[in-house]
């Protein structure tokens, strides 16, 4: 009542003041009443705008049920229909004609204490391809998970879409398309625009601003990561986040198969960003187990649209990082023939080709090893290379399975399996929290090994017994705290932190996490120094240590 009077809204609401618990009950009832996933998404999106705390409380209390609505796979559907569904600003659209004015436009965002940005250019949205400006659903969804899965204050999160056109003809001809109606502008003009964007973010929010690249085309994903990783606080979720979650899943698979990663042969269907990102972290993981870099690379095989990546290709190219994994083998393009030739014990799908792991391929995997590992990681659900049901059925229930999108429980020969979701949502919220709170200026690759180790260490036998190589979704919030703690420790040890070491790292993390309680409405988030000076990156002297 006091709040209503202070805000001058007394009388605009009926007399009864409801508790959050009562409100949550109604919200849950309402969301359950919608019969379509998109309907549920729109209701939740509306709730987020209307009552942020209630939205996040509902989401965190029902994370297993609602994650597939605010995130993969429904978010993919929303992006595909974004032109119909767009209602109100939820992030910033910067189009290539804004070049020269990017910082000015960032100032239009009403929140000033931005700490984390997720940016896409919409060129490779999930496994759905180029959705141009309609990719905005992805940064919005990812950032809502930063809050729901690691407790970063939503006011600190800014979703951004760089609209440089689209090569998607269907969208270009769609009257409902809301982006720039022209072909993608690439080359130097595009890169200069992204450069300006990065500089503007630092100018506006300071050198610690954490920038997560999401769903760029794989060529640009690699290029920008290499270009910016030593200059800005940046990571690429599809390369590094996905890699970490796969490494974690493979480390726990070893507990089932009895085969170390460094003793494995790994075949990837797909040779784009995700495949190469995963492969390079797996190499680091294998080196830790005592093999040389060359040996580790020798255990990884890639297949692209033109077949197995081999040194003497007549069909297909060897451009980009996939060339490191090219083998001295004959050209082959049939997956089953490749499986029988290479004889991998781990098969990873990052191809966007739904159903590509056919019964024949799965049976071949089962003939090669006692416990074949099958990860069907392409998103959303329809793009999964095989379902858990198919995987168990065609491997006589012997496989270790994970998917990128969520699947319901499956039954095989009287046993119920709840397979794990090898999705980067296990990684990026905790990495973001740890990096942000320790005020690192750059994100070394070790951070992703730390995140993978933290997940792997927390997988219990009971999860493995149920068929999952990941902890349950309901544990992610706690996992994120543990990942953040491990990253902060690393940052202090390596003198990468921009703050003094707090007495207790877990208490420090907890103190800075978002609270969904109404009573905590006035709880400060964290101190944000006034940015009245311009940062000159050339002259910036990174703090060695304040410890």
Ligand X SMILES: O=C([O-])CC(=O)C(=O)O
- Binding residues, as ranges, are 124, 214-215, 238, 379, 423
Q: Which stretch binds Mg ion (CB under 5 A): 238-246, 282-290, 489-497, 517-525?
A: 238-246
User: CA triplet 482, 484, 487: central angle to 5 degrees?
Assistant: 110
String marking each residue 221-260 x if it binds ligand X according to CB under 6 A: ----------------xx----------------------
Torsional sign, CA 363, 341, 302, 368: positive
> Can 518 be counted among the known catalytic residues?
no
Q: Which stretch binds Mg ion (CB under 5 A): 129-137, 215-223, 261-269, 463-471?
A: 215-223
Residue (125 or 296) nearer to ligand X, CB: 125
Contact with Mg ion (CB under 5 A) among 98, 121, 203, 215 = 215
Q: Which residue is nearest to ligand X (CB)?
A: 72
72 interface partner picked from Mg ion, ligand X, none, CB below 5 to 8 A per type: ligand X
Of 445, 402, 437, nearest to 511 (Cα)? 437
Q: Which stretch binds Mg ion (CB under 5 A): 58-66, 230-238, 357-365, 431-439?
A: 230-238
390 interface partner picked from Mg ion, ligand X, none, CB below 5 to 8 A per type: none
Give the separation between CA 169 and CA 167, rounded to whole angstroms: 6
> Can 142 be counted among the known catalytic residues?
yes
Grouping H, G, I as helix, E, B as strand and the rest as coil, residue 15 is coil
Of 56, 71, 190, 228, the active-site residue reads: 71
Give the shortest CB-111-to-ligand X separation in angstroms. 24
Site for ligand X in 415-434 (CB under 6 A): 423-424
Rg (CA), the chain: 23
String marking each residue 398-417 x if it binds ligand X according to CB under 6 A: ------x-------------
Per-residue buried b or exposed e for 83-95, using 16+ beta carbons within 10 Å of the residue's own CB = eebbeeebbbbbb
Q: Report the chain's terminal Cα–Cα distance, integer Å.
A: 46
Residues near 209 by beta carbon (within 8 Å), at least 6 away in sequence: 114, 115, 116, 117, 201, 202, 232, 233
Give the separation between CA 373 and CA 70, rounded to whole angstroms: 29
Contact with ligand X (CB under 6 A) among 47, 126, 348, 376 = 126
DSSP 151-210: ---GGGEEEEEEE-----HHHHT-TT--S--SPPP-HHHHHHHHHHHHHHHHHHH-TT-E
Binding of residue 119 to ligand X (CB under 6 A)? no
Q: Which stretch binds Mg ion (CB under 5 A): 211-219, 354-362, 509-517, 525-533?
A: 211-219
Catalytic residue numbers, as ranges = 71, 142
For Mg ion, the binding residues (CB under 5 A) are 214-215, 238
């Amino acid at each position: 009542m006091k709040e209503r009077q202070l805000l001058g809204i007394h009388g605009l609401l009926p007399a009864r003041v409801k508790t959050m618990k009562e409100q949550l009950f109604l919200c849950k009832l309402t969301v359950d009443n919608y019969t379509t996933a998109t309907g549920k998404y729109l209701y939740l999106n509306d709730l987020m705008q209307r009552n942020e705390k209630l939205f996040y409380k509902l989401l965190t209390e029902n994370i297993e049920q609602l994650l597939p609505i605010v995130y993969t796979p429904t978010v993919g559907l929303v992006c595909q229909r974004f032109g119909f569904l767009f209602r109100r600003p939820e992030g910033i659209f910067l189009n290539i004609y804004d070049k020269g004015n990017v910082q000015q436009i960032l100032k239009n965002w009403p929140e000033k204490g931005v700490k984390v940005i997720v940016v896409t250019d919409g060129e490779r949205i999930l496994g759905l391809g180029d959705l141009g400006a309609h990719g905005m659903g992805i940064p919005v969804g990812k950032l809502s998970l930063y809050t729901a899965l690691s407790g970063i204050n939503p006011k600190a999160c800014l979703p951004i879409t760089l609209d440089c056109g689209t090569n998607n003809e269907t969208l270009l001809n769609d009257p409902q398309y809301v982006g720039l109606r022209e072909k993608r502008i690439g080359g130097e003009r595009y890169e200069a625009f992204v450069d300006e964007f990065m500089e503007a973010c630092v100018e506006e929010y300071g050198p610690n601003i954490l920038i997560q690249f999401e769903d760029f085309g794989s060529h640009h994903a690699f290029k920008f990561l290499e270009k910016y990783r030593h200059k800005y606080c940046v990571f690429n979720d599809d390369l590094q986040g996905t890699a970490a979650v796969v490494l974690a899943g493979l480390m726990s698979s070893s507990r089932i198969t009895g085969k170390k990663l460094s003793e494995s042969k790994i075949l990837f269907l797909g040779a784009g960003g995700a495949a190469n990102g995963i492969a390079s972290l797996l190499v680091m993981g294998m080196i830790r187990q005592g093999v040389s870099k060359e040996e580790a690379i020798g255990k990884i095989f890639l297949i692209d649209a033109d077949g197995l990546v081999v040194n003497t290709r007549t069909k297909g190219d060897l451009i980009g990082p996939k060339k490191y994994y090219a083998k001295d083998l004959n050209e082959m393009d049939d997956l089953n023939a490749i499986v029988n030739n290479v004889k991998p014990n781990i098969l990873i799908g990052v191809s966007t080709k739904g159903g590509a792991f056919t019964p024949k391929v799965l049976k071949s995997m089962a003939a090669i090893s006692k416990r074949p590992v099958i990860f069907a990681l392409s998103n959303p659900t329809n793009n999964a290379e095989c379902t858990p049901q198919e995987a168990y059925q065609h491997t006589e229930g012997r496989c270790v399975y994970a998917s990128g999108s969520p699947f319901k429980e499956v039954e095989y020969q009287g046993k119920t399996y709840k397979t794990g979701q090898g999705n980067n949502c296990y990684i990026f919220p905790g990495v973001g929290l740890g990096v942000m709170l320790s005020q690192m200026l750059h994100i070394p690759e070790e951070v992703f090994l730390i995140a993978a180790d933290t997940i792997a260490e927390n997988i219990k036998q009971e999860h493995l017994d149920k068929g999952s190589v990941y902890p349950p979704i309901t544990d992610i919030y706690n996992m994120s705290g543990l990942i953040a703690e491990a990253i902060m420790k690393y940052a202090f040890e390596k003198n990468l932190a921009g703050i003094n070491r707090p007495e207790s790292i877990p208490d420090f993390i907890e103190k800075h996490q978002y609270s969904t309680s109404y009573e905590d409405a006035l709880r400060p988030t964290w101190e944000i120094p006034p940015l009245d000076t311009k940062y000159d990156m050339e002259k910036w002297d990174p703090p060695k240590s304040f410890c």
